[in-house]
């Protein structure tokens, strides 16, 4: 029943045997052991499970692991270079854009995907880009400020 | 104001990098070798007798390691409130009958989630449906279905365990009445007689969900020596471990709540939940770790939501707007279990009695059992419900009297130094300044009532900084390390508010160190001393004071060593930047690292350990048969809190009169939290509450039809997203609270109770009509506009 698939996660190749119905989220968390993508709804409505699939943000709870075969996957474990944080990580911390931290991994990746595609977004474009990522703690404005600062300093 | 070097600085949170890199571990992230997965079978009926449960097929399924029912867990009852008058009413698994759709009936532990899920489908339960009642006013009528039989406590209650010697009485919920409160101040009837104008209205506030992003979950692991380790998503370990020990029948010392980061709570993770107990029961039975993580729909339909209030408010005023009397009657639609109702009904009075000086008050409340999801605390715990009602009506009164709503509020505020009817004293009271600054910042005088299609509204809120109830206190330790840095042990739990950072700031300030010199150990019941957790917004005020005192204790020890090492009198010494030096000759110094060595070499091996402690309300205590400073909550007597957090908010909205759609344009929140220990955190708390309030007013409601939650997903239950948030202006009015650590007090809950009525009043101001219930959906707005036109 299980299928052998290859996933490239944060630049590392992983071979895993998975049931065809397992989601990418489950495989990243349970088989590969990276716990930053979070499950908060399992229906694609909160985006806490966001990962970048070939550079595009996806809800990994809605993607089957077998669909990610041979694709590049980025989680925030792969965002920093050793102890050097990515500018978005650093800006989130300094701006108070993190409180409980549960939405943070998905939020950071949605922000990265935006800036990769549109390095100079307006505030409205930032809000639009993270509109699917739910956060109950911060009220979003500090997240928007953090992303805007990174965009402006690029 | 005194200048501090660490306190008052916008220092980024100490767990920031852990959370930005994915290293921070939440309960859902923790896995143990041999771990099993638990699932819960829930009632499909709102009210039914359980005739039989057959678990044999589920037990026979390969991979299933245990199936438990009420027979295994027994008739041990637990509750958020458990007093001699109101003994606990909930069991870990239903025993004789079920009282709401979603109630826990059986639980399974299996080698995988899929297997556990499959096993649930093999459990055969035979029910006999009973008539159900969903409306609290129907439930109180004679002849309504009876939800609870007489509850006879099978153990001592929590209050007795905590030292009150008073025997628990059986509780007979006649007419489904779960609990009652009656608080009187002055003479309300006389106050109404002396009033020129009286207004009476009914307001309805629905139940809403906390939607902490991390779903509720627990991992429990019994070892062969009888020790229970748990990892929980929670707000304070004392309550959790007390109930785990009691329901499992093991000593509390054998329960360890381990540190986890908590993905948001907002009051929604405060009490003990059946799934936590069931993970522990299943672990005990299987001898293996058991993890139960609830799905979002389980969270939304089986974990307590906010309290549902129907509020009748009658207010009498003089022509000049002076409030003479207020009569409030609350029907609290508790749902299937009482949970926090007795507390909530009294908090609905006392959170607001610090705001306006109302000489004559009659505050009545009744908690009513219904066959629905039970309700409990949520950020502000009654403040937002009662604020919506009272502040809505004040706007109506202002209009009828022709008084500016801002002036009406300013006229009735209390004053700094006031002694409240129960004896609480307002040593800090920045509310007048909050209102003044919010008005200034929002352009109230220039804009109110002068913009077509736009409206402005005001709201106020008040909140405790920790409460009088046992065990509301905190202790903290600090230990000096060989490098001159300190490790701080605090029982506070980091669930997003930033306590780890703030506690480190307080310790660093007291010890003359930087925040990097403090290593925080928090949220671990085995390592950290007693601490109720961040309840009733007591985190900074109570636990922060304990931390400050622990640091001060260590400082005194350090100075005592230094007097010997430097051969100088203590009053000649100063401590700063990791050094202790002679004030007149700063070169004559020792380092804190030196003092660590000195303690071991010269002071018999004492390396310096500081201890601090405090409790929320110093004047309250009970021991043996006697009470000191407190009496019955249900009569509102006795001291409640030592410091009130206060807030005022003004909102500006635009309403599309064709569609009824609301756009919030600007929210100003001015909050008096005493000293800002960390301005970045304070802003974060205020913006968070403003955003939450937008959801409260515009769209949030857990909709229950015939006992069933019909919107248990984040698709159907909308919370605010980034596009819903307008410009948020936060103003910190720092009225120094002399009893708080460095002058600090509450910040995390008051503002929500101020912003909700501010937005609600702004909408009503824009449409020129009144809406008496939340949320203010477009259909209600269109209807109110139509009604107004007549």
Q: How far apart are CA B461 and CA B754, in angstroms?
A: 5
Distance CA B296, CA B301 (A): 9
Tokens of B669: 């929140």
Name residue B193's beta-bridge partners: none
| pLDDT value, residue B161 | 85
Both structure tokens of B304: 């307590």
Share of chain B above pLDDT 90, in %: 92
| Residue B703 banded pLDDT, cuts 50, 70, 90 | very high
> How far apart, in whole angstroms, are the C-alpha atoms of residue B397 and residue B197?
8
pLDDT at B2: 66
Give the three-state DSSP class for B143. Answer: coil
**CA atoms within 13 Å, Cβ hemisphere of B775:** 23
CATH class, domain B418-465+643-789, is: alpha beta
ipTM: 0.98
Q: Do the chains contact at B263 and A38, CB–CB below 8 Å?
A: yes
State the pLDDT at residue B210: 98
Q: Nearest CB to B264: which of A93, A100, A133? A: A100
Please answer whether residues B323 and B412 qualify as being in contact, where contact means their C-beta atoms are separated by less than 8 angstroms.
Answer: yes
Q: What is the pLDDT, as a whole number, of residue B32?
A: 98
Q: Which residue has the higher pLDDT, B615 or B468?
A: B615
pLDDT digits (tens, 9 = 90+) for A30-60: 999 999 999 999 999 999 999 999 999 999 9
pLDDT tens digits along B11-30: 999 999 999 999 999 999 99
Report the C-alpha gap between B122 and B62 in whole angstroms.
12
Mean pLDDT of chain B: 96
Residue B612 CA to residue B473 CA, distance in Å, equals: 11
Q: What is the pLDDT of residue B446?
A: 96
**B114: CB partners within 8 A, 6+ apart:** none
B183-220: pLDDT as tens digits: 999 999 999 999 999 999 999 999 999 999 999 999 99
Name the closest residue on chain B to residue A47, using Cα atoms.
Answer: B213
Hey, CA dihedral for B44, B46, B48, B52, is it positive or negative?
positive
Distance to chain A for B677, nearest Cα, Å = 14
Asked if B16-23+473-615 and B418-465+643-789 have one fold, the answer is: yes
Band the pLDDT of B264: cuts 50, 70, 90. very high
Express each pLDDT in B97-111 by its tens digit. 999 999 999 999 999
Segment B242-266 shows an average pLDDT of 97
Distance between CA B181 and CA B637 in Å, rounded?
11
Task: Point out which residues pair with B323 in neighbouring strands.
Answer: B317
Q: What is the mean pLDDT of residues A86-98?
A: 98
Task: State residue B631's pLDDT score.
Answer: 61
Domains and CATH numbers, chain A: 3-78 (3.10.20.30), 87-153 (1.10.150.120)
Nearest chain B residue to A100 by CA distance is: B496
pLDDT for residue B748: 96
**Residue closest to B367 by CA, chosen among B334, B328, B329:** B334
Query: Which chain A residues are Cβ-neighbours of B671 within 8 angstroms?
Result: none
H and E: helices and strands count for chain B: 21, 32
Q: Which residues contact A43 (CB under 8 A, 6 or more apart)?
A: A61, A62, B296, B713, B714, B715
Distance CA B469, CA A23 (A): 47
pLDDT band at residue B154 using 50, 70 and 90 as cut-offs: confident
Judged by CB atoms closer than 8 Å, whether chains meet at A132 and B496 is answered as no
The arithmetic mean of pLDDT across residues B299-311, rounded, is 98
Sign of the four-CA dihedral B766, B772, B777, B778: negative
**HEC assignment per residue over B10-56:** CCCCCCHHHHHHCCCCEHHHCCCCCCEEEEEEECCCCCEEEEEEECH
Region of B403 (left: φ > 0; alpha: ψ -120 to 50; beta: rest) is: beta
Q: State residue B621's pLDDT score.
A: 82
Instruction: Return d(Cα A96, Cα B594) in angstroms, integer.
Output: 37
pLDDT at A1 over 90: no
Cα separation, B677 vs B680, whole angstroms: 9
Contact A137 B25 (CB under 8 A): no
Instruction: Write the DSSP assignment of B285-310 as a string of letters.
Output: HHSS-EEEE--HHHHHHHS-EEPEEE
The architecture (CATH level 2) of B16-23+473-615 comes to 2-Layer Sandwich (3.30)
Collect all residues of chain A within an 8 Å Cβ-Cβ radius of residue B680: 96
Residues of A in contact with B28 (CB under 8 A): 35, 38-39
**With contacts defined as CB-CB under 8 Å, which chain A residues touch B268?**
none
pLDDT tens digits for range B335-355: 999 999 999 999 999 999 999
What's the average model confidence in pLDDT over B599-625?
90
CB B495 within 8 A of CB B269: yes
Minimal Cα–Cα distance from B15 to chain A, Å? 9
pLDDT tens digit string along B737-773?
Answer: 999 999 999 999 999 999 999 999 999 999 999 999 9
Q: Which of B286, B31, B58 is nearest to A26 (CA)?
A: B31
List chain A residues with CB under 8 Å of B24.
Answer: 101
Residue position matching structure tokens 């299928």? A3
Structural domain boundaries in chain B? 16-23+473-615, 27-137+214-297, 418-465+643-789
- CA separation (Å) from B286 to B219, B222, B226, B542? 14, 9, 13, 40
Q: What's the rounded mean pLDDT across residues B587-609?
A: 96
Mutate to test the interface with A, among B17, B19, B501 (most CBs of A within 10 A): B19
pLDDT digits (tens, 9 = 90+) for B53-103: 999 999 999 999 999 999 999 999 999 999 888 999 999 999 999 999 999
Average pLDDT rounded to a whole number, residues B368-384: 98
Distance from CA of A35 to the nearest CA of B (A): 6
Question: What CA–CA distance (Å, rounded) separates B297 from B407?
Answer: 45
Taking each helix axis from N to C end, the angle separating A87-95 and A141-153, rounded to the nearest 10 degrees, works out to: 140
Q: What is the pLDDT of residue A13?
A: 97
Superfamily of domain B27-137+214-297: Aldehyde oxidase/xanthine dehydrogenase, a/b hammerhead (3.90.1170.50)
**Confidence tier at B633 by pLDDT (50, 70, 90):** confident
Record: contact B19-A101, CB cut-off 8 A: yes
pLDDT of residue B468: 84
Q: Report helix, strand or coil for A112.
A: helix
Q: Which residues of B are annotated as catalytic?
A: 749
| pLDDT confidence tier of residue B251, bands split at 50, 70 and 90 | very high
pLDDT at B159: 83
Query: CB B22 to CB A132 under 8 A?
Result: no
**Distance between CA B28 and CA B740 in Å, rounded?**
35
Query: Residue B262: enclosing H or E segment and its boundaries?
Result: none
| Tokens 């909140």 belong to residue | B463
* B1 pLDDT above the threshold of 60: no
Q: Looking at the predicted structure, is the pLDDT value of residue B261 above 80?
A: yes
A95 vs chain B: nearest CA distance in angstroms? 8
Q: Which residue of A has its CA nearest to B210?
A: A136
pLDDT at B618: 87
Mean pLDDT of B309-318: 98
In chain A, the residue whose alpha carbon lies closest to the alpha carbon of B26 is: A102
Average pLDDT over residues B624-653: 85
Contact B64, B58 (CB under 8 A): yes
Confidence of residue B367 (pLDDT cuts 50, 70, 90): very high
DSSP string, B49-108: EEEEEE-HHHHHSTTEEEEEEHHHH-S--B-S---SSS---B-SS-SSEE-STT-EEEEE
Report residue B524 CA to chain centroid gap.
20
* CA gap A65, A78 in Å, rounded: 19
Size of interface A-B (CB pairs under 8 A): 166
CB contact under 8 A, B688 and A36: no
Separation between Cα atoms, residue B670 and residue B517, nearest integer Å: 33
CA-closest candidate to residue B147, choices B369, B356, B303? B369
Contact A131 B723 (CB under 8 A): yes
Contact at CB, A128 and B723, closer than 8 angstroms? yes
CA distance B93 to B95: 6
Neighbours of B450 (CB within 10 A): 10
| Continuous segment of H or E residues that includes residue B785 | helix B778-789
Residue from B9, B20, B748 to probe the interface with A (highest A Cβ count within 10 Å)? B20
Question: What is the rounded average pLDDT of the residues A77-96?
Answer: 95
pLDDT at site B790 = 67
**DSSP for B269-283, written as a single string:** TSS--HHHHHHHHHH
* Residues in a beta bridge with B218: B232, B292
d(CA B383, CA B641): 15
What does the alpha-carbon distance between residue B302 and residue B296 come to, in Å, rounded to a whole number?
10
Chain A nearest-CA distance from B587, in A, is 36
Whether residues A75 and B22 touch (CB distance < 8 A) is answered with yes
Structure tokens at B709: 């939650």
């Amino acid at each position: 029943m299980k299928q052998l698939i290859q996933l490239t996660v944060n630049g590392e190749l992983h071979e895993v045997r998975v049931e065809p119905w397992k989601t990418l989220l489950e495989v990243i968390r349970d088989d590969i052991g990276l716990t930053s993508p979070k499950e908060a709804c399992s229906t694609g409505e909160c985006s806490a499970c966001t990962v970048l699939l070939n550079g595009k943000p996806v809800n990994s709870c809605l993607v089957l692991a077998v669909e990610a075969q041979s694709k590049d996957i980025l989680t925030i474990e792969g965002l920093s270079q050793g102890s050097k944080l990515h500018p978005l990580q650093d800006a989130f911390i300094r701006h108070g854009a993190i409180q409980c931290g549960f939405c943070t991994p998905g939020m950071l990746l949605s922000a990265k995907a935006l800036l990769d595609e549109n390095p100079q977004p307006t505030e409205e474009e930032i809000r639009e880009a993270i509109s699917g990522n739910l956060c109950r703690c911060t009220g979003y404005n500090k997240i928007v400020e953090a992303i805007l600062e990174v965009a402006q300093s690029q | 104001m005194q200048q501090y070097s660490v306190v008052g600085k916008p220092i980024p949170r100490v767990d920031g990098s852990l959370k930005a890199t994915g290293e921070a571990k939440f309960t859902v992230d923790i896995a143990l070798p041999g771990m099993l997965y638990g699932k819960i079978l829930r009632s499909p009926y709102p009210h039914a007798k359980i005739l039989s449960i057959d678990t044999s097929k589920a037990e026979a399924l390969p991979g299933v390691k245990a199936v438990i029912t009420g027979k295994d867990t027994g008739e041990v009852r637990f509750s958020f409130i458990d007093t001699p008058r109101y003994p606990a009413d909930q069991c870990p698994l239903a025993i004789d009958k079920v009282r709401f759709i979603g109630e826990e009936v059986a639980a399974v532990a299996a080698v995988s989630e899929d297997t556990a899920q499959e096993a649930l489908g093999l459990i055969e339960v035979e029910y006999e449906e009973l008539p159900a009642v969903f409306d609290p006013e129907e439930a109180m009528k004679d002849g309504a279905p009876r939800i609870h039989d007489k509850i006879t406590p099978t153990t001592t209650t929590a209050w007795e365990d905590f030292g009150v010697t008073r025997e628990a009485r059986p509780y007979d919920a006649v007419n489904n009445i779960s609990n009652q409160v009656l608080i009187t101040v002055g003479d309300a009837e006389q106050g109404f007689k002396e009033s020129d104008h009286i207004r009476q209205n009914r307001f309805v506030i629905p139940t809403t969900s906390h939607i902490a992003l991390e779903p509720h979950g627990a991992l429990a692991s019994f070892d062969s020596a009888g020790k229970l380790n748990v990892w929980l998503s929670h707000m304070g370990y004392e309550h959790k471990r007390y109930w785990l020990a009691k329901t499992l029948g093991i000593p509390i010392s054998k329960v360890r709540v381990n540190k986890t980061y908590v993905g948001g709570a907002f009051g929604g993770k405060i009490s003990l939940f059946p799934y936590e107990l069931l993970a522990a029961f299943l672990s005990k039975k299987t001898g293996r770790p058991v993890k139960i993580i609830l799905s979002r729909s389980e969270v939304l339909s089986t974990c307590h939501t906010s309290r549902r209030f129907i509020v009748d408010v009658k207010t009498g005023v003089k022509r000049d707007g002076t409030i003479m009397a207020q009569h409030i009657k609350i029907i609290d639609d508790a749902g299937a279990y009482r949970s926090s109702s007795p507390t909530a009904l009294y908090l609905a009075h006392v959170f607001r009695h610090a705001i306006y000086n109302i000489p004559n008050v009659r505050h009545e409340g009744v908690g009513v059992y219904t066959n629905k999801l039970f309700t409990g605390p949520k950020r502000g715990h009654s403040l937002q419900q009662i604020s919506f009602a009272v502040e809505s009506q004040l706007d109506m009164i202002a209009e009828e009297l022709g008084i500016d709503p801002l002036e009406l509020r300013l006229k009735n505020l209390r004053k700094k130094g006031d002694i409240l009817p129960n004896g609480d004293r307002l040593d800090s009271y920045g509310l007048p300044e909050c209102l003044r600054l919010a008005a200034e910042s929002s352009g109230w005088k220039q804009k109110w009532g002068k913009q077509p299609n736009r409206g402005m509204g005001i709201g106020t809120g008040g909140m405790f900084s920790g409460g009088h109830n046992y065990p509301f206190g905190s202790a903290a330790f600090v230990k000096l390390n060989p490098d001159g840095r300190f490790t701080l042990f605090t029982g506070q739990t980091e669930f997003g508010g930033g306590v780890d950072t703030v506690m480190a700031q307080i310790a660093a300030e007291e010890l003359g160190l930087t925040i990097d010199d403090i290593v925080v150990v928090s949220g671990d019941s085995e390592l950290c001393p007693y601490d109720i957790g961040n309840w009733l917004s007591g985190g900074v005020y109570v636990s922060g004071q304990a931390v400050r005192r622990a640091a001060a204790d260590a400082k005194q020890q350090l100075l005592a060593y230094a007097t010997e090492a430097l051969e100088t009198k203590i009053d000649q010494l100063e401590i700063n930047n990791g050094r202790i030096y002679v004030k007149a000759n700063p070169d004559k110094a020792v380092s804190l690292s030196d003092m660590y060595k000195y303690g071991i070499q010269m002071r018999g091996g004492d390396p310096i350990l500081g201890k601090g402690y405090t409790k929320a309300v110093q004047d309250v205590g009970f021991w043996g048969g006697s009470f000191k400073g407190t009496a019955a909550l249900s009569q509102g007597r006795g001291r409640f809190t030592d410091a009130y957090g206060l807030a005022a908010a003004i909102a500006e909205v635009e309403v599309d009169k064709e569609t009824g759609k609301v756009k919030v344009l600007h929210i100003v929140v001015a909050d008096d939290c005493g000293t800002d220990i960390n301005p970045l955190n304070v802003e974060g708390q205020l913006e968070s509450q403003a955003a939450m309030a937008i959801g409260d007013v515009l769209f949030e409601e857990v909709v229950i039809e015939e006992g069933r939650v019909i919107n248990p997903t984040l698709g159907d239950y909308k919370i605010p997203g980034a596009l819903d948030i307008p410009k948020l202006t936060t103003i910190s009015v720092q009225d120094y609270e002399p009893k708080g650590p460095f002058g600090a007090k509450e910040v995390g809950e008051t503002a929500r109770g101020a912003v909700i009525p501010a937005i609600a009043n702004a909408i009503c101001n824009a449409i020129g009509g009144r809406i008496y219930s939340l949320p203010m959906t477009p259909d209600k707005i269109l209807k109110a506009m139509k009604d107004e036109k007549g």
